[in-house]
Amino acid sequence: MDDTMSGIGHGSRAYSLHKRPDDLCQLIQHTYALVLAGGRGSRLGPLTARRAKPAVPFGGKFSIIDFALSNCVNSGIRRIGVLTQYKAQSLIRHIERGWNFLDVNLGEFIDVVPAQQRVDEQWYTGTANAVFQNLDMVCEIDPDLVLILAGDHVYKMDYARMLADHVRSQADATVACIEVPMEEACSFGIVDIDAEFRIISFEEKPAHPKSLPDRPERALASMGIYVFDRRFLCEQLSRDAADDKSSHDFGHDLLPWLVPRYRVMAHRFEDSCVNMVGERPYWRDVGTIDAYWAANMDLVQVVPDLNLYDDAWPIRSLQRQLPAAKFVFDDDGRRGMAIDSVVSSGCIVSGASVRRSILFSKVRVGEGGLIEDSVLLPNVVVGREVHLRRTVVDKHSVLPDGLRAGIDPAEDRRRFHVTEHGITLITPEMLDPRGISRA
């Protein structure tokens, strides 16, 4: 990789990032981000029965998709398309109401794109097919580069650094990569690289993943974040669409086909991560209830692994106009308090104790309650003398007086959903099957 190159052609423009740093701004302005937000999130079980995974609430006041969108805006990328499919109404509503501050007169926008069967009568059959079915929209925008993102991960990343990496290395495609423990590697696309970070092999969810040469306990995994030259992407998606043997997925089909034939580079996440935990970058795939609960619990630590209090890289979201949280009563056995917890606006903790937990907006906790190591989503009402431990409670749930959950797993399994690691999930339907579900 020659860092002294005078210019690299992409589309109709040339960029010289080392001699003219202002070219990075032009590069960003001529980049279009596509966020893949149609995932079913089946491993989250009942939590995604009524909503797409990117719409799942996270961290007290956000939705998961807010991280990808905030990363785009903070990186300077303000031309964004969000491709939806599965149970997308709450996701669409969230973006339309919470992300309407961009100025279309300045060429800034977020387009929410429903699956439209634009090519044939099939819905999206894979991630590559989702982009292929919207190539006419990409061509209309006419970017030099296309940044493709998953909308269901929690992390903070400066995409501009990855774009610059892509240009400097003269790559046809660039894949963001992160080190993962070997015991988790079979859940990811695993890459092997040479000395200049060129990818020499890509295997999606291998049964026997290859470890890093100098770190046998870890593997290098794709994060599902890709940069392509727009013309190259269009050519390769069209070729893949014509292949009857392809499942039309980036990880399963497109990247394994490209790697031996073109210059596909790896971008190290630690080079663009905005949130480091010690020497490791913070990134979470909250694809299971256990992982979702653990990622939320990261936020209640004295020094959280994920810093949401960083004014230089804010995570934006839909902000409801609600009163401040309130804690009432100060009597022995009836003291409203929260310790090592995140409590959002509109909450009232009435003579109850909240410890190491997250309360989303407008949660009400009744007298004598004890909430420990739990995540309560918006508009949950907790009755009197309720005890929750290691529990996730979905939106609009009304917990009756005296309920115990997370205390006796055998009892919980008769009424609720209990995970492999003992996290209890409660939804409104479990409490009242006759109720009307709301995402």
Residue 317 counted as domain residue: no
Kindly state the average pLDDT of the residues 142-154. 95
Residues 288 and 379 placed together within one structural domain of the fold: no
Distance of alpha carbon 303 from the chain centroid: 22
CATH code of the domain containing 156 = 3.90.550.10
Residues 240 and 191 placed together within one structural domain of the fold: yes
Residues 164 and 289 placed together within one structural domain of the fold: yes
Split into its structural domains, the chain has a count of: 2
Residues 250 and 383 placed together within one structural domain of the fold: no
CATH code of the domain containing 409 = 2.160.10.10
Residue 414 counted as domain residue: yes
> What was the pLDDT predicted at 111?
95
> What was the pLDDT predicted at 144?
95
Residues 26 and 68 placed together within one structural domain of the fold: yes
> What was the pLDDT predicted at 121?
65
Six-digit token pair at 313? 């890289």
Residue 1 counted as domain residue: no
Residues 284 and 344 placed together within one structural domain of the fold: no
226 forms beta bridges with 148, 175
Q: Which band of pLDDT confidence, cut at 50, 70 and 90, is reported for residue 5?
A: very low
Q: Which band of pLDDT confidence, cut at 50, 70 and 90, is reported for residue 43?
A: confident
> What was the pLDDT predicted at 119?
64
Residues 277 and 338 placed together within one structural domain of the fold: no
pLDDT tens per residue across span 256-267: 999 999 999 999
pLDDT tens per residue across span 421-434: 999 999 999 998 66
Q: Which of 83, 79, 143 is nearest to 113 (CA)?
A: 83
Six-digit token pair at 236? 């390769």
Rg of the Cα trace of the chain?
Answer: 23
Q: Do the beta carbons of residue 145 and residue 188 sit within 8 Å?
A: no
Residues 39 and 159 placed together within one structural domain of the fold: yes
CA pair distance 275, 303, nearest whole angstrom? 13
Q: What is the DSSP string of 225-255?
A: EEEEEHHHHHHHHHHHHT-TT----IIIIIH
pLDDT tens per residue across span 57-96: 999 999 999 999 999 999 999 999 999 988 889 999 999 9
Residues 256 and 335 placed together within one structural domain of the fold: no
pLDDT tens per residue across span 152-210: 999 999 999 999 999 999 999 999 999 999 999 999 999 999 999 999 999 999 999 99
- The residues, any chain, with a CB within 8 Å of residue 48's CB and separated by 6 or more, are 40, 41, 42, 56, 87
Model confidence, pTM: 0.92
Torsion of CA 396, 401, 405, 407, to 10 degrees: 160
CA pair distance 272, 39, nearest whole angstrom? 25
Residue 39 counted as domain residue: yes
Distance of alpha carbon 190 from the chain centroid: 19
pLDDT tens per residue across span 221-254: 999 999 999 999 999 999 999 999 999 999 999 9
Residue 313 counted as domain residue: no
Phi-psi region of 288 (alpha: psi -120 to 50; beta: other; left: phi over 0): beta
425 forms beta bridges with 392, 417
**CB atoms near residue 260 (< 10 Å):** 11
Six-digit token pair at 141? 């925008």
Residues 330 and 395 placed together within one structural domain of the fold: yes
Residue 320 counted as domain residue: no
Which domain covers residue 275, as residue numbers? 8-300
Residue 197 counted as domain residue: yes
> What was the pLDDT predicted at 1?
37
> What was the pLDDT predicted at 85?
86
284, 300, 316: which is the final residue of a domain? 300
pLDDT tens per residue across span 287-339: 899 999 999 999 999 999 999 999 999 999 998 899 999 999 999 889 999 99
pLDDT tens per residue across span 103-127: 998 999 999 998 876 666 677 888 9
Residues 75 and 134 placed together within one structural domain of the fold: yes
Residue 3 counted as domain residue: no
Residues 255 and 346 placed together within one structural domain of the fold: no
> What was the pLDDT predicted at 4?
32
